[in-house]
Structure 1
Amino acid sequence: MGVNYFLHFLKWVEAPPPVGGADGPGWCAKHIKAIMNIGPAFLGVPKAVANILSAEGKDVAFIRAMAPGLFDLETFGFQTFQHVMRVFRTWDSVISLLPKGGETVWGDLNRSPEEENVCHSAKTQYLHSSSKESNGNDTDTRRSIQEKELAKYGRLVSFGKVASEIPSSQLSLIDPKEILYENPPISSTSCEELMTEYDGMSQESIKRVTENKAYTARTLIDLLRFVAPKTMQRAESHFSHGLADNLEDPKYSHYKYWSNPLETMLPDTLDMEIFWSYGVGIPTERSYVYKISPSDRCKSIPLQIDISADGSDNGCLSGGVYFVDGDESVPVVSAGFMCAKGWRGKTRFNPSGIATYIREYQHKPPASLLEGRGTESGAHVDILGNFALIEDVLRVAAGASGTELGGDRVYSGIMEMSEQINIQL
């Protein structure tokens, strides 16, 4: 998440007062040699959506699946999840990590950049990347992919497993704006003391939300405006999650765009280098299957991940969560796209052509408890103990260039994924 705020800093430090630091153009060129983004989530993370919708993620869903009574939203979750959700909705850190770039980046109802990275198990590597790494020829993998139904990751939230899999022509779809403007959420029998914004919503409004069976990165924003209006009102005054058509438009001088790499430009400097350092090879949550909570009692979160949604032809669905390659928290497409394509060479997002390098670390879990977190871990936090990462950081700090580090080191399918994203450069 820190990378988003540092990107904001790069704009702030050169911007004029009263919104900027007033150091003027050229500050970054003078003072910054290299930027090393560790575990970057430049384009957001889908789990931020789950945090706001139901205060859940894959970990909570997994525990509820293993021990149904422990984290059930109707027992333990009756009060605890209400408090967790109330806190989540006040954290700008969660809001800042909502997926950026809309359907162009994250996919629509029928396609997504990861669609050819089919996993054969929710707990193992992915056929596409493992085949390419082992023999350099992914022809057989692509053939096997064509024989399977590709996961529709662009449906970030689906109501029901069937809705997450069937062709879009068979989906029940409603424009979320109709729900937002034609169905006021206020309940006539709301709770005496409101814990979350859900408590003031009628059951009819909640059911109306689920009638639109699938939400993409574009329509999710309208869904969140409906179920968390106060949260989104604050969010959209400080952050933006879109994709700029024209970066020369004066509106992009507003600070709310500065943390979105798709709505701002890098500083004008030729000598700076930017590194993307992140782990790969760990199943990472990408999209969710939801359902209405069976309870209609007061202070009950009405939407929850459907932990019974399990298994699929492509093997990427487990406990209501679809997985892709990543570092356990950040999908590869969010971590690597800007380096692989958005900022690669001279683009409208990188007008001076700052050199960029991808440095991926293939995850290897510790062999024993004596290793602690592991010296070859690629997990989002544990990577800080990865010896190869530490070596890269020390060498850059000591003066090594990206070329001297060996240039790009790629294990995932980020290059292929980036080619699937049709974006104006």
Structure 2
Amino acid sequence: MFAFGLGIIAAIFLVVPLPPQLSALEDFDLPNFSISDAMPNWSLELSLSQIVANVRETMAPTSEWLTSRDFKVGTELAEKGYAAEFPVIMVPGIVSTGLESWSTSEEARTFFRKRLWGTTTMIRAVLTDKERWVKSLKLDTTTGLDPPGIKVRAAQGIDAASTFIPGYWIWAKVIENLACLNYDSNNLFLAAYDWRLSFYNLEERDSYFSLLKMRIELYKQKQGKKTVIVGHSMGSEYFLKWVEASGPKYGNGGPKWVDEHIEAFVNIAGTMFGVAKAITAFLSGEMKDTVEINPAGSYVLERYFSRRERAQIFRSWAGSASMWIKGGNDIWGNGEHAPDDPDNCTLSHGRFFSFQQEHGDHVHQIANMTADEVSKWVLERTPVEFQRMLATNYSYGMERDEEKLKKNDHDHTKWVNPLEVRLPNAPDMKIYCLYGYGKETELMYTEGPYEPGEEHSDSSSIAPSAESVMSTNGSMLRGSLDLPTLKKNWIDTSVNYEAGFPKIKNGVKVGEGDGTVSLISLGSMCVEGWKHPRWNPAKIPVTVQEMLHEPETLDLRGGPKTADHIDILGSTALNEAILKVASGRGQELEDRFVSPIQKYVKRMKWD
């Protein structure tokens, strides 16, 4: 979802007219292009009717999908006797929910009740007053809440995350198909939230989890049914632990609440162990989506929304920090071997960052960093406020001791990490992990080079060391390598190794996943971790269905067989699975694998 959010921002700035000095593209080495290069090798003797026939034949699969996909899955299942059984609550992923301004200051009144995130109003706000837009969306880096004089809240209702902008649906297809089974606003709810906030602050400021708990209890009281929670990407595991915890800050539902109120948890494309791009986004505001923009687009993006600005706004969004990589080397591998290394691997996935340094005309590697090393190193190069925010809201380690896991039931910093917390005491609940596979996903980065004399843009707020901030395992955060502290760090786009396996393009190494989340993060806990009693003491049954990414070439959203991280919400297989669970026929879903995840999890250190 990071990619989605940044992609939207990039797209906005790419519609800004190019400055005169760039219009001729004199500074870029672009290939020559002519219209003949883009034309198929058609015979000039083809008649117009033949050309039209060829085009129609090529477009036929896409045309059929575009004209018939709405309500199709739901209609077919309804005709087979499927009908609404359990109330359904949808929980969007990060950046999916629209955000609107409630500020009443003189300068902000033109934005009042306007969408600052989502809809075309956002685009208009960015293009007309970017500075005020950025100021409105950034959070206070100390409190993690609204800055003084600014109030932004999540939009509410089904429309809050049904579509992002006109024509770009998110949950709309799922909603349409559920409606065919007799779902409406009385038994279907979209639990929109301000995804910028940490989970703890969501409850403190908005009473988000309390309201969610009350709605589920109302469904049980009025309809006599448990609820099915359908979460995308960032997921809903935090709520399940919050609601069973005790204490004045937590849900007070008690240890039996989840079992009595939740029928199933459907986990769609869950970022269980985090995403690699979160690391670079917080470090330098970069990821694969930015470095692969063409030179002209990159110039415009950097000019109007620089890496420094992107990193600063990302760091203020404590909610996105929940996607920091989790599990360390035991899950992701060391510098030599990783669980998901292909058989003919030329560069291990266990190396998250590779560093280069220039010496005269030569460039050589000076270090490689594993998951454990890169987390500490990046934290030491971020502002102290960001370090403190992570330490007080999240934990990214791996806990095997059962007594400590029991204690973690009451520690909110652990609840977003499935490796440090037990599943709820809910033996009658079911879990369904549904995710895509088969799309290149970024896993590792080449950083540098380091140029003497260039200080970090935020050096005034960065401590030379992070000695005042504790790491996830209780030790002090210290640099593990002797590298510059206050220098700019960025992805070295000059590094390309497409002949390698896996390949590196523009300084980014790609692996397996759904285009945003790696396979290791998507499936490992569902396939193996929750089979261990220490993390699943109630023995909650977990069903895994992988969906192969087979997009239709001419469909911008991939068509009925897409498995892209976001577009999967419109796929046939995913919608069928959701509708079967919602209609009380989840037992029809069986494990289905199309990836090597079962082999990979056996290479991890679970014990």
Alignment TM class, shorter chain as reference: 0.7 to 0.9
Distance in structure 1 (CA, Å) of the matches to 2:543 and 2:595: 14
- 8 Å CA contact 2:441–2:518 kept in 1: the answer is yes
* 1:347-362 aligned within 5 A: 347-362=533-548
Of 406, 418, 427, which aligns to 1:270?
Answer: 427
Of 274, 298, 311, which aligns to 1:71?
Answer: 298
| Gap change, CA 1:33 and 1:55, over 3 Å in 2 | same
- 8 Å CA contact 1:19–1:255 kept in 2: the answer is no
- 8 Å CA contact 2:577–2:586 kept in 1: the answer is no
- 8 Å CA contact 2:444–2:509 kept in 1: the answer is yes
Q: Does 1:388 find its partner at 2:573?
A: yes
Consecutive unaligned residues in structure 1, runs of 5 or more = 117-144, 163-170, 173-210
What is the TM-score of this pair, normalised by structure 2?
Answer: 0.53
Aligned twin of 1:216: 370
Query: What one-letter code is carried by the residue in structure 2 that aligns with 1:282?
Result: K
Distance in structure 2 (CA, Å) of the matches to 1:108 and 1:42: 20
Query: What one-letter code is carried by the residue in structure 2 that aligns with 1:374?
Result: G
Compute the displacement of 1:53 (Å): 1.4
Provide the secondary structure at the position in 1 that maps to 2:380. Answer: helix
Of 398, 417, 435, which aligns to 1:243?
Answer: 398
Consecutive unaligned residues in structure 2, runs of 5 or more = 1-92, 94-231, 359-363, 458-486
Per-residue displacement from partner, 1:100-134 (whole Å, max 9, x unpaired)? 00000111111111112xxxxxxxxxxxxxxxxxx
Q: Does 1:400 find its partner at 2:585?
A: yes
- 8 Å CA contact 1:4–1:260 kept in 2: the answer is no
Provide the secondary structure at the position in 1 that maps to 2:448. Answer: strand
Distance in structure 2 (CA, Å) of the matches to 1:299 and 1:161: 17
- 8 Å CA contact 1:161–1:289 kept in 2: the answer is no
* 1:73-152 aligned within 5 A: 76=302, 80-116=306-342, 145=343, 148-152=344-348
- 8 Å CA contact 2:356–2:450 kept in 1: the answer is no
Per-residue displacement from partner, 1:187-219 (whole Å, max 9, x unpaired)? xxxxxxxxxxxxxxxxxxxxxxxx5x1221111
Q: What percentage of aligned pairs have identical amino acids? A: 31
What is the TM-score of this pair, normalised by structure 1?
Answer: 0.74
| Gap change, CA 1:26 and 1:251, over 3 Å in 2 | closer
Distance in structure 2 (CA, Å) of the matches to 1:161 and 1:111: 24
Aligned twin of 2:266: 36
Distance in structure 1 (CA, Å) of the matches to 2:389 and 2:541: 35
Aligned twin of 2:30: none
Query: Which structure would you say has the larger RCO, counting Cα contacts within 8 Å and 6 or more residues apart?
Result: 1
Distance in structure 2 (CA, Å) of the matches to 1:161 and 1:276: 42
Q: Does 1:280 find its partner at 2:437?
A: yes
Distance in structure 2 (CA, Å) of the matches to 1:418 and 1:161: 35
Compute the displacement of 1:318 (Å): 1.4
Distance in structure 1 (CA, Å) of the matches to 2:250 and 2:519: 32
Per-residue displacement from partner, 1:126-152 (whole Å, max 9, x unpaired)? xxxxxxxxxxxxxxxxxxx3xx44421
Query: What one-letter code is carried by the residue in structure 2 that aligns with 1:111?
Result: H
Aligned length: 339
Query: What one-letter code is carried by the residue in structure 1 that aligns with 2:599?
Result: E
Distance in structure 2 (CA, Å) of the matches to 1:110 and 1:244: 24
RMSD: 2.5
Of 507, 521, 531, which aligns to 1:334?
Answer: 521
Aligned twin of 1:157: 353
Query: What one-letter code is carried by the residue in structure 2 that aligns with 1:224?
Result: V
- 8 Å CA contact 1:13–1:22 kept in 2: the answer is yes
Distance in structure 2 (CA, Å) of the matches to 1:296 and 1:381: 42
Provide the secondary structure at the position in 1 that maps to 2:258. Answer: helix
| Gap change, CA 1:394 and 1:421, over 3 Å in 2 | same
Query: What one-letter code is carried by the residue in structure 2 that aligns with 1:8?
Result: Y
Larger radius of gyration: 2
- 8 Å CA contact 2:557–2:567 kept in 1: the answer is no
Aligned twin of 1:198: none
Of 215, 236, 246, which aligns to 1:6?
Answer: 236
| Gap change, CA 1:77 and 1:112, over 3 Å in 2 | farther
| Gap change, CA 1:161 and 1:415, over 3 Å in 2 | farther
Q: Does 1:21 find its partner at 2:207?
A: no
- 8 Å CA contact 1:53–1:303 kept in 2: the answer is yes
Distance in structure 2 (CA, Å) of the matches to 1:411 and 1:77: 42
Of 550, 553, 572, which aligns to 1:364?
Answer: 550
Compute the displacement of 1:365 (Å): 1.4
Distance in structure 2 (CA, Å) of the matches to 1:16 and 1:5: 22
Query: What one-letter code is carried by the residue in structure 2 that aligns with 1:15?
Result: A
- 8 Å CA contact 1:247–1:264 kept in 2: the answer is no
